[in-house]
């Protein structure tokens, strides 16, 4: 199924032209129990939305129309052989490495478009977890790219804004979309 169809089926993901994707998101008051509970219910919605696209690795709250500083991440990090699953509330990048790399980047809210984006190799991050507890970590490589992409969403910045004009390319399918990947994500066995 093309990515376009997936997004059209899921009404909760907004289009890149939608105003929500271009707004600055406000932080969540993690000291406020009611607000934290709301944030947790939203985290659930964000994971459900993320799962509608088997090649999606992360999602930011404005992508489901919520102008709040929240990000969910869920993918298999093959570099370190780890399944990375996390929710970040009020994530802040406190430090970016000077060393950068340029890789193809895709976004669930931007259909049939891809391009190479320059990102820092590593970033220092401060955030709150899903329980409202402060966390700090270093993200490197692809993980650093994912965090930078998602934190940009919270300021209304899309990866398309960072692609050099002559490096734009249009795609029909995600490059990594294949049936084995889909079946693995669905917890189903391959046919013998
Ligand atoms: Ni995105």
CA nearest neighbour of 123 among 153, 149, 144, 102: 144
Between the CA of 133 and the centroid of ligand 1 the distance, in Å, is 25
DSSP-assigned beta bridge partners for residue 124? 95, 138
Between the CA of 188 and the centroid of ligand 1 the distance, in Å, is 27
Between the CA of 149 and the centroid of ligand 1 the distance, in Å, is 6
Predicted model pTM: 0.80
Percent of the chain whose predicted confidence (pLDDT) is above 90 = 48
More confident residue, 49 or 98: 98
- Give the C-alpha separation, 94 to 189, whole Å: 42
Q: Which residues are catalytic?
A: 150
Which class for 149: exposed (0-12), middle (13-18), buried (19 or more C-beta within 10 A)?
Answer: buried
Q: What is the reported pLDDT for 109?
A: 82
Beta strands per DSSP E along 1-67: 58-60
Lowest mean pLDDT among 22-31, 112-121, 139-148, 166-175: 166-175
Between the CA of 60 and the centroid of ligand 1 the distance, in Å, is 7
Q: What is the reported pLDDT for 5?
A: 32
- Give the C-alpha separation, 39 to 69, whole Å: 10
Between the CA of 18 and the centroid of ligand 1 the distance, in Å, is 13
């Amino acid at each position: 199924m093309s990515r376009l169809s997936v997004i059209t089926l899921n009404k909760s993901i907004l289009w890149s032209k939608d105003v929500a994707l271009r707004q600055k998101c406000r932080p969540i008051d993690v000291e406020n129990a009611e607000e934290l509970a709301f944030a947790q219910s939203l985290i659930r919605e964000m994971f459900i939305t993320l799962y509608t696209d088997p090649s999606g690795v992360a999602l930011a709250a404005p992508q489901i129309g919520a102008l709040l500083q929240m990000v969910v991440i869920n993918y298999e990090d093959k570099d370190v052989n780890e399944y990375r699953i996390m929710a970040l509330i009020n994530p802040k990048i406190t430090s970016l490495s000077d060393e950068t790399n340029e890789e193809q980047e895709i976004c669930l809210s931007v259909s049939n478009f891809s391009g190479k984006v320059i990102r820092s190799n590593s970033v220092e991050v401060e955030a709150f977890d899903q329980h409202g507890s402060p966390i700090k970590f270093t993200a490197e490589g692809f993980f650093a790219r994912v965090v930078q992409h998602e934190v940009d969403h919270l300021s209304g910045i899309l990866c398309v804004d960072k692609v050099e004009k002559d490096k734009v390319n249009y795609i029909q399918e995600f490059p990594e979309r294949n049936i084995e990947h889909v079946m693995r994500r669905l917890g189903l066995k391959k046919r013998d």
